[in-house]
Structure 1
Amino acid sequence: MTSHHETSTKRLSFPRQFARTQRYTLGAPRAFTIAPDGSRVAFLRSPSGTDRAGSLWVLDLDGEVRERVAADPSALLGGAEEELSAEERARRERSREGGGGIVGYAVDGAVELAAFTLSGRLFTAELRAGTARELAVPGPVIDPRPSPDGRLVAYTAGGALRVVGADGGGDRALAEPEAATVTYGLAEFIAAEEMGRHRGFWWSPESDRLLVARADDAPVRRWWISDPAHPDREPAAVPYPAAGTDNAEVRLFLVGLDGARTEVVWDRTAFPYLARVHWSSGGAPLLLVQARDQRLQHQLAVDTATGATSLVRAEEDPDWLELNPGVPGWTPGGELVRITDEGGARALAVGERELTDARLHLRAVLDVGAEDVLVTASAGAAAEDPEIGQIHVYRVDGSGVERLSEGPGVHTAVRRGEVTVLASARPEEPGAAVRVLRAGKQVAEVVSYAERPVFSPRVVLTGAGPDEIPCAVLLPRDHREGDGPLPVLMDPYGGPHGQRVVAAHNPYLTSQWFADQGFAVVVADGRGTPGRSPAWEKAIRSRLTLTLDDQVAALHGLAGRFPLDLDRVAIRGWSFGGWLAGLAVLRRPDVFHAAVVGAPVSDQRLYDTHYVERVLGHPAEAPEVYADASLVTDDGLSAPSSPARPMMIVHGLADDNVVVAHTLRLSSALLAAGRPHEVLPLSGVTHMTPQEQVAENLLLLQVDFLKRSLGLK
């Protein structure tokens, strides 16, 4: 069993504990890296369930199995508070990183040298010896990465890509920005926020050069984000590529250790998005580039002598091409590994062979070995048992598929050679149990210091409606059969990349807390959400409001099986879920009677290019599609016969992802239509709301609003 620190949690309310523990993520081990000889595993973990400062740890597997600290941020900073640059804060916002201390690290090929930052300063740790030191280099430092041979560390500072010896000598710039709008070695906003590409440089396997992305955001329109609580401060200029506007210009260079550079050439006009870069000993550097409409993408091999590229594979889709973690890549023997939607199933392909079929829905490639590929997948459309909410780890080779994870849950893994780190989040236990396997047999377990929640959720996973929409239903823990119907709270995200119905414990804690306040809570993953089939995800192309139809279908499909009072139905959501909540009370006031609308994308034209255009197309070519998905121009605002449902709109004023203009425009439209609503501005809060007091009180205020709006005591 996973070990948890048992502090004074019994005396804490759930909102306070939930906020203090960063949603129970503090103290949990993560970011595992396995040494190629299987002798040790590096990972991150904070020292307790309420301490935000992550440390770098090593689990030794040779001889006596033991854990030890390789780098302690408190010791390295001499007890000083961490200071973050604006660039680092933005990077953490893009990656949704709410922790502190050491939040990320990179290693050399042997997993003997680790590099990381603290307060914008560069540190390295010798993982065998367990010693750490600072390298005196210009800062603030972002994303340091050792060379595979461990002799050098590359990093970015001031928009330049730099390199320094692992001994601290020979620091120099390899590529420096030609203008204030240019950066080398960093992911631009759209790559980090939407493509899952959080880095901008890659070492060669021989450690003799790098591939370096150059991003110029001069073409990108500037938005200004101010802090109304501090009118003495200047607004921050944020380059934001809103739908239909210009993106940053991204180029790629091969850069030698002497600074010599060769540009990598492809048709950037036809394929402006650099989505993936892979460089391994299995073949030439491999790029995945996308057309702006994301219906066509090329996988390109790079000639490292000339920078020329050659087509490895072209892929096309009438809706869009999904970017999947871990692909494309090469096998050690030089075959292309990819995930494809060809044939109507999300399948694993190696070379010209598809190794899985519609019984599995591929989620990610975890590791590519000489003989097999390690993946995560959920049950596909042709599966005999749908296994609602479950994600498992599979080993796939030419002879078939073998499931490695056991029991209901959400499982993932890291593998190197014979050693596998398997993390399993299960419905009956909080957090995730992390086991270390060698040749399939457990040799260790990584302890979690995460706090144990003050309660466990009472959740039923089921399908609802004609389409068997995946749902989770939560009733008050003291509810008994015969107690009568309960007011309903729909609690969705409901959109792309946001699966909420999962076979795990912690994701339902907030929903259970709302249930315990006297609600029947329903979480429904309708069309557009991941995990079922490509057709399920892509059904919302140009029809975003189908997501609302499925919330209604799920609600009505469950009504006969659970004690749901359909005369008192509320909905809450954040981001896409906030848009969905606002849409619900405006379009279907006959179904929904109140809404908590958190950081809503009220006007899709104000959201970013890669996300919105993938689903709705270019706004200049499909203005009616954007209007149909808009809350600001919604016909429900002015319909005289439509009842006005209470809305509580919540937004962080420092949000640079879904900017507060979304809420301000929605509020203005509601006011012009004479529709009552409440606006709760969160000063200094971004899209994540990590602040403890804000997170705690936000839950309490939502419950108060919902009870008032539905006429509950």
Structure 2
Amino acid sequence: MDAQGFPRQFARTRRFSLGVPRRFTVSPDGQRVLFLRSDAGDDPVSRLWLYEDGSERILAGPSGGAGDVPEAERIRRERARETSRGVVAYATDREARVVTYALGGQLWTVRTDGGAPRRVTTAGPAVDPRPSPDGTLVAYVTGGALRVVGTDGTGDRLLAAPENGDVTYGLADHVAAESLGRTRGYWWSPDSAALLVARVDTSMVQRWYIGDPSLPGNAPRSVPYPAAGTANAETTMHIVRVDGGRVAVRMPAAADAEFHPEGRWTDPAFEYLVTAWWDSTGPAMNVQTRDQRTAYLMDIDPATGETSLLHQRRDRRWLEFVPGAPARTSAGCSVLAFVPPGGDVQGLRMARHGAVTPPGLYVREVLGTLGERVLFTAGDEPTEVHVWSYEPDSGFVRLSEGPGVHTAAAGGDTVVLDSMTPEGHTVTVLRDGKPAGQIAVRAEEPLVTPRPVRLSLGERELRSLLFLPSWHEPGSGSLPVLLSPYAGPGVQLVVKARAWWTAVGQWWAEQGFAVLMTDGRGTPGRGVAWEKSIHGDQLTPVLDDQVDALHAAAGYRADLDLGRVAIRGWSFGGYLAAGAVLHRPDVFHAAVAGAAPTDLRLYDTHWKERYLGHPGVLPENYARCSLVEHAGKLTRPLMLVHGMADDNVLPAHMLRFSAALLEAGRPHSVLPLPGAGHLVTEEGVADKLLLLELDFLKKSLGC
């Protein structure tokens, strides 16, 4: 096949993400489904769509005159790994009649029951606009201030103004968005009279400066980045009334020492706001200690700001949160994540009903509640994720069928089932549990068809995918081996679904490699002990699993040439790739490491202290896992790749590692990507990068 055709398609389609419907909202009566999608698999412009009465139509798209994206919105998109432009986010009122969105800082509204989009004049560039539940007002953030304006464009007024340039109201801080998955900073009350608002103060956070060396005329931008062991931003909560009243929420200072787990490093101060919401029962928040071993779920009195403890969780290593949990049903039944005594999977407990998820069912996410119904995703096999429903009368029922990774959105008697399967991606509209229609997936079909062999390798039954060239006949000759893992926390590659990475894996195979992807210890889906086995050491057990999987795969297929083994990866996968040639040159003969966090003390507090603790108290953990400190061990070809505008894994990681390699006299290759962030999808960059990697690895292995 044409070696360049697939890379061009891969870049042009932004990893086959264009044309894929996403961010579904189903109206409470089940009649309307809102979603985002571009028109085609190579169209980067995202639009707002409405599915109603069995057909789709565009509600809103980019309009003329939209300005540049505000800095706060650019950061929000970077944290969300958003690759499109146009309408990339939206919010609705309670009935999904009024929709708000921002384009180039301009605030727009559109109604689902007719009429053209309408621009609403604001006091400044609008970020994260959200309508009130009754649809009469829109809150938005501009310049760090939270404001509100009528959906008719009248009555714009200030609700909360930042006291100085280090303070914002209504936005998530870096740690919340990057490591906790919380991308919003305010929540409307059900009666539309008030909001629960996060105030973030970054004055105590160290400043780092990120610039583009290819544009020396541009000043670097200042980024408050809380690296491991340094000060976090201070997040406090406030009840802000539309009529101008305001009450500070009483934040808990520290966890009760009697119930907080002991440890060599203990920090019981509540520094993290995990999530918050405001439902018919009232406002609530979930907060976590700095050492991540205690969390409090707290009710908030909206009149006084006083808080009361509803539920406490603790863990001697760290707490893992189920997205969407805690949650509450309309009658106030708390939906709580828990690990049953003696169990090893994250389950759910419906507190009022006394119901718990079936044994062995690993809960991935709470999708939402409808009355007393709870919708969630879970699986009893790591490579599959299914949609489940719980109701007091019918109990636990699985809604999705067939192997795959399924998720959903629901309203009334309608469920939108979003399914990635081995055959492809489909979105099915179910009514009363029966298929009632389809929402089109307009992504392009990859020029290569993934043909993975699914394996369970070695004593630990490591879930793996093996890709072989379509033209290769068993026994016809040996194949160089390429490991292409991520293998880090929070991400699975080995699932029963066709995805962009399976297409990339097959492309590498068609270039003459046997390609192996393995999810080892630390990855989700296998249970609590599996995920937390990397506590204190994020490299050794993960690397051991890759080596074990490689040897087991070679026993399965004799054509794998263990004398020519390379490894490539991005982000944590890049870290693992570099670590592989440093520590196991007896196994790995070349590596490409992209956006690798080489000095883990430079990564953010929540994500890194979770696994390694505080670097001032447990420096040996960071020394053990640092690539910089082991640079002198390199004896194999290594290419380092990094986006020079990456504000997640900063370019300093690559530069410090390269400097250490140079000081140790270790030859290596460096490929800087000017202007690129952490996610590299641009045409002319992502495609060329694949080809450069191919050339480097083939030369390094003597292919």
Q: Same fold (TM over 0.5)?
A: yes
Q: 1:644 aligns with which of 612, 623, 635?
A: 635
* Secondary structure of 1:662's aligned partner: helix
Superimposed CA distance per residue, residues 5-57 of structure 1 (whole angstroms, 9 cap, x where no aligned partner): xxxx9998110011001111111111111111122111111111111111111
Q: CA deviation at 1:482?
A: 1.8
- 1:284 Cα deviation from its structure 2 partner: 2.2
Change (3 A) 1:681 1:10: closer
Aligned position for 1:306: 304
- Map Cα deviations across residues 606-641 of structure 1 (whole Å, 9 max, x no partner): 00000000000011110001000000111xx335xx
Contact 1:456–1:505 at 8 Å: present in 2 too?
A: no
1:484, distance to aligned residue in structure 2 (A):
2.5
Letter of the structure 2 residue corresponding to residue 275 of structure 1:
V
For 1:95, the equivalent position in structure 2 comes to: 80
Q: State how 1:144-155 maps to structure 2 within 5 Å.
A: 144-155=129-140
Alignment partners' CA distance in 1, 2:97 and 2:298: 32
Cα shift at 1:485: 2.5
Once the two structures are superposed, the pairs formed by residues 282-431 of structure 1 within 5 Å of their partners are 283-343=281-341, 344-351=344-351, 353-379=354-380, 386=381, 389-398=383-392, 400-429=395-424
Alpha-carbon deviation of 1:357?
3.9
1:520 partnered with 2:519: no
Q: How has the CA–CA distance of structure 1 residues 535 and 365 changed in structure 2, closer, same or farther, with 3 Å as cutoff?
A: same
Q: CA 1:152–1:420 in structure 2 vs 1: closer, same or farther (change >3 Å)?
A: same
What is the SS of the residue equivalent to 2:282?
A: coil
Verify the 8 A CA contact 2:107 2:121 in the aligned structure 1.
yes
Q: Please point out which of 643, 648, 658 is paired with 1:657.
A: 648
Greater mean alpha carbon deviation, residues 345-354 or residues 35-44: 345-354
Matched ranges for 1:625-640 at <5 A: 625-634=621-630, 637-638=631-632
Counterpart of 2:261 in structure 1 is none
- The change in CA–CA distance for 1:633 and 1:10 in structure 2 (over 3 A counts) is closer
Are 1:459 and 2:452 matched, yes or no?
Answer: yes
The percent identity for this pair of structures is: 51
Work out which of the residue numbers 191, 202, 225 in structure 2 matches 1:217.
202
- Mapped to 2, the partners of 1:276 and 1:377 lie a distance apart of 21
**How far apart, in 2, do the equivalents of 1:654 and 1:345 lie?**
38
**What are the superposed Cα offsets for residues 68-105 of structure 1, whole Å, 9 maximum, x if unpaired?**
111121xx226x6x621222111100111111100010
2-side partners of 1:426 and 1:357: how far apart?
24
Q: Secondary structure at the match of 1:274?
A: strand
Whether contact under 8 Å (1:325, 1:365) holds in the other structure is: yes
Task: Indicate the residue corresponding to 1:177 in structure 2.
Answer: 162
Number of aligned residue pairs: give it. 682
Q: Which amino acid aligns with 2:230?
A: T
Which piece of structure 1 moves more, 496-505 or 82-91? Answer: 82-91
Q: Take 2:177 and 2:395, find their aligned partners in 1: how far apart are those partners? A: 35
Q: Which residue of 2 is the match for residue 548 of structure 1?
A: 543
- 8 Å Cα contact 1:286/1:329 also seen in 2: no
Whether 2:9 is the aligned partner of 1:17: answer yes
What is the one-letter code of the residue matched to 1:644?
A: T
CA contact (8 A) 2:3 2:511 kept: no
Corresponding residue for residue 3 of structure 1: none
Q: For 1:539, what is the secondary structure of its paired residue?
A: helix
* Cross-structure match for 1:37: 29
Query: Is 1:67 equivalent to 2:56 in the alignment?
Result: yes
Residue number in structure 2 paired with 1:28: 20
Change (3 A) 1:11 1:495: closer
Which residue matches 1:46? 38
1:101-129 CA-to-partner distances (Å, cap 9, x unmatched) read: 00010000010000000011000011110
Residue 190 of structure 1 pairs with residue 175 of structure 2: yes
Structure 1's 324 and 505: CA in aligned 2 closer, same or farther, altered over 3 A?
Answer: same
Q: Matched residue of 1:583: which SS?
A: helix
Evaluate the alpha carbon distance shift between residue 268 and residue 92 of structure 1 in structure 2; reply closer, same or farther with a 3 A threshold.
farther
Find the counterpart in structure 2 of residue 253 from structure 1.
238
Whether contact under 8 Å (1:69, 1:130) holds in the other structure is no
Aligned to 1:77: 64
Evaluate the alpha carbon distance shift between residue 614 and residue 34 of structure 1 in structure 2; reply closer, same or farther with a 3 A threshold: same
Deviations 1:133-186 (A, max 9, x none): 100112211000000000000000010000000100000110011100100000
Does the aligned pair in 2 maintain the 1:10–1:454 contact within 8 Å? no
Shift of 1:517: 0.7
Q: Give the whole-Å Cα distance in 2 for the aligned partners of 1:682 and 1:661.
A: 13
Gap regions ≥5 residues in structure 2: 255-268
Matching of residues 647-686 of structure 1 within 5 Å? 647-686=638-677
In the TM superposition, what whole-angstrom CA distance separates every residue of 1:404-447 from its partner, at most 9, and x where no partner exists?
11111111100112100001111123xx2001011011111001
Give the partner amino acid of 2:231: D
Q: Which amino acid aligns with 2:364?
A: R
1:142 corresponds to which residue? 127
Deviation per CA, 1:244-297: give whole Å up to 9, x if none: 00011111100001221101112245211011102111x221210000111100
In structure 1, C-alpha distance between the alignment counterparts of 2:363 and 2:201, rounded to whole Å: 34
Q: What's the C-alpha RMSD, in Å, of the aligned pairs?
A: 1.5
- Secondary structure, aligned partner of 2:441: coil
Cα deviation, 1:359-402, whole Å, max 9, x if unaligned, reads: 211000112233432111122xxxxxx4x521111123456432
Amino acid paired to 2:555: G
Please name the residue that 2:610 is paired with.
Answer: 614
Residues 1:693 and 2:691 aligned together = no
Q: Secondary structure at the match of 1:668?
A: helix
TM-score by length of 1: 0.94
Displaced runs of 4 or more, over 3 A: 9-12, 369-372, 397-400
How far 1:505 moved relative to its partner?
Answer: 1.1
Q: 1:371 to 1:461 in 2, by over 3 A?
A: same
How does 1:119-130 map onto structure 2 within 5 Å?
A: 119-130=104-115
- TM-score by length of structure 2 reads 0.95
Give the Å deviation of 1:342. Answer: 3.9
CA distance 1:347–1:553, shift in 2 (3 Å): same
Give the Cα separation in 2 of the matches to 1:263 and 1:342: 36
Cα distance in 2 for residues equivalent to 1:101 and 1:525:
35
Q: Assess, with a 3 A threshold, how the Cα gap between structure 1 residues 239 and 684 changes in structure 2: closer, same or farther.
A: same
Counterpart contact for 1:216–1:250, Cα < 8 Å: yes
Structure 1, gaps ≥5 residues long: 1-8, 380-385
Amino acid at match of 2:37: R
Distance 1:529 1:358 in 2: 20
2:686 corresponds to which letter in structure 1?
A: A
Contact 1:494 1:525 in 2 (8 A): yes
2:601 touches 2:622 (CA, 8 Å); kept in 1? yes
Q: Deviations over 1:202-252 (max 9, x none)?
A: 000111100010001110000011211111221111110000000111111
- Say which SS state the counterpart of residue 523 (structure 1) adopts: strand
Matched, 1:118 2:103: yes
Inter-partner Cα distance in structure 2 for 1:588 and 1:596: 15
Partner of 1:600: 596
- Residue equivalent to 2:274: 275
CA offset digits 1:485-516 (Å, max 9, x no partner): 21111111111011111111123011111111
Aligned to 1:90, the other structure's residue is in SS state helix
Say if 2:237 and 2:251, in contact at 8 Å, map to a contact too.
no
Q: Match of 1:407, SS? A: coil
One-letter identity of the residue aligned with 2:64: L
